[in-house]
């Protein structure tokens, strides 16, 4: 059984993977609808401070130290997490696929140089590197996306390189060469499609890691101060941990569900793509 219908059937049979997909769809809808649901800025004060969840119908999840609505913060915070997760993953995928295919296909010096770069970014602890980037540039969403993307691409590059090495001496590729296709055409038309499936699985894991990394950076107070994010909400909730722990607890659960959804989705994809692996 191959092809899209078979893949879809296998994926839908896995409840955990479907749960992951539902979480991702809900998150996208929340991020898109944030402006409609809560038109006011989530940083504006809309009520008394320290309202516990369930205490006031106007603030279902309560308010924070300053009286900002927590539900509005969660809904708007989904935007930051989603943007950072998607954009950082996009950078990692583009860089990782291009460099990984080049390293595997051309070999030689190209391979040596690219693998040195892979080693470099796998040696530097990604959170510390991201912190340094945020301190030397001005804290902003593009800076955080760039920093996370730069530390994540080696995971993809290594996989793609290994897969390309496997394909390089296959008859399929040798035929294309004999036919006189240019390197660029072989890479784009024939190699990229063949490595896509392994990249997709890793990409969902990278998106999950990116959301966690962004949360940690914002928690440390290095995010964009004009945008609310789940990490920064936990950071400000930390100040009231003794009297109002819900302020830190709620955004943390949002991060947990988002990351859980992405990793279950990734596992589901992996199982559906490699059906023999699941019945071992």
Partner 1 sequence: MSGSGGRLNGAINTGIFVLRRLVHVLPTMFLILTVNFFLLQMAPGDAVDVLTGEAGGASPEIVEMLRKEFGLDQSTGMQFLRYVQNVATFNLGYSVGYNGHVAPIILERIPASLLLMFTAIVVALIVGVTFGVISAVWRGRWIDNVINVISIWGFALPLFWLALMLIVAFSLTLRWFPASGMYNVYQGHTGWAFVTDVAYHMVLPVISLSVYYLAIFSRITRSSMIEIFGQDYMRFAKAKGLHPARITLRHGLRNALLPIVTITGLQLGAMLGGSVVIETIFAWPGMGRLAFDAIFRRDLNLLLGILFVSSFLVIIANILTDMIYSALDPRITLK
Within 109-128, the residues that bind partner 1 by CB under 8 A are 116-117, 119-120, 122-128
Tell me phi and psi for residue 125, to 5 degrees: -60, 125
Q: Do 150 and 121 contact (CB within 8 A), yes or no?
A: yes
Q: Out of 215, 228, 269, 272, name the contact with partner 1 by CB under 8 A.
A: 215
* 32 contributes a contact to partner 1 by CB under 8 A: no
* 203 contributes a contact to partner 1 by CB under 8 A: no
* 259 contributes a contact to partner 1 by CB under 8 A: yes
Stretch that binds partner 1, among 61-69, 70-78, 93-101, 208-216 (CB under 8 A): 208-216
* 91 contributes a contact to partner 1 by CB under 8 A: no
Taking the least distance from each CB to partner 1, the nearer of 49 and 252 is 252
Q: Out of 148, 206, 222, 272, name the contact with partner 1 by CB under 8 A.
A: 222
Stretch that binds partner 1, among 51-59, 69-77, 94-102, 207-215 (CB under 8 A): 207-215
Measure the CA–CA gap between 76 and 202, rounded to whole angstroms: 27
Taking the least distance from each CB to partner 1, the nearer of 81 and 164 is 81
Measure the CA–CA gap between 240 and 178, rounded to whole angstroms: 69
Long-range contact pairs involving 211-216 (C-beta distance under 8 Å, separation at least 24) = 211/81, 211/84, 211/85, 211/255, 211/258, 211/259, 211/262, 212/255, 212/259, 213/126, 213/127, 213/130, 213/148, 214/80, 214/81, 214/84, 214/85, 214/88, 214/144, 214/148, 215/81, 215/255, 216/127
Interface residues toward partner 1, by CB under 8 A: 116-117, 119-120, 122-129, 131-133, 135-138, 208, 212, 215-216, 219-222, 231, 234, 238, 241-242, 245, 248-249, 252, 255-256, 259-260, 263-264, 280
């Amino acid at each position: 059984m191959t092809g899209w219908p078979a893949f879809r059937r296998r994926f839908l049979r896995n409840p955990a993977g479907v749960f992951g997909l539902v979480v991702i769809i809900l998150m996208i809808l929340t991020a898109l609808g944030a402006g409609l649901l809560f038109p006011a800025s989530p940083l504006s004060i809309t009520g008394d401070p320290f309202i516990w969840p369930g205490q006031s119908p106007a603030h279902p999840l309560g308010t924070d130290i300053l009286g900002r609505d927590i539900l509005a913060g969660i809904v708007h915070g989904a935007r930051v997490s989603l943007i950072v997760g998607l954009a950082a993953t996009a950078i990692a995928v583009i860089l990782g696929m291009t460099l990984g295919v080049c390293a595997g296909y051309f070999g030689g010096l190209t391979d040596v140089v690219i693998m040195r770069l892979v080693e470099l970014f796998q040696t530097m602890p990604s959170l510390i590197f991201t912190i340094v980037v945020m301190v030397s540039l001005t804290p902003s969403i593009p800076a955080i996306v760039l920093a996370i993307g730069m530390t994540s691409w080696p995971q993809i590059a290594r996989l793609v390189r290994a897969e390309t090495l496997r394909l390089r001496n296959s008859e399929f590729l040798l035929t294309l060469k004999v036919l006189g296709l240019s390197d660029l055409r072989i890479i784009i038309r024939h190699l990229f499609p063949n490595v896509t499936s392994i990249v997709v699985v890793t990409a969902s894991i990278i998106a999950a890691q990116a959301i966690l990394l962004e949360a940690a950076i914002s928690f440390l107070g290095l995010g964009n101060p004009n945008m609310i994010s789940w990490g920064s909400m936990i950071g400000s909730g930390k100040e009231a941990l003794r009297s109002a722990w819900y302020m830190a607890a709620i955004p943390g659960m949002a991060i947990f569900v988002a990351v859980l959804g992405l990793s279950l989705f990734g596992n589901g994809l992996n199982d559906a793509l490699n059906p023999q692996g699941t019945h071992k």
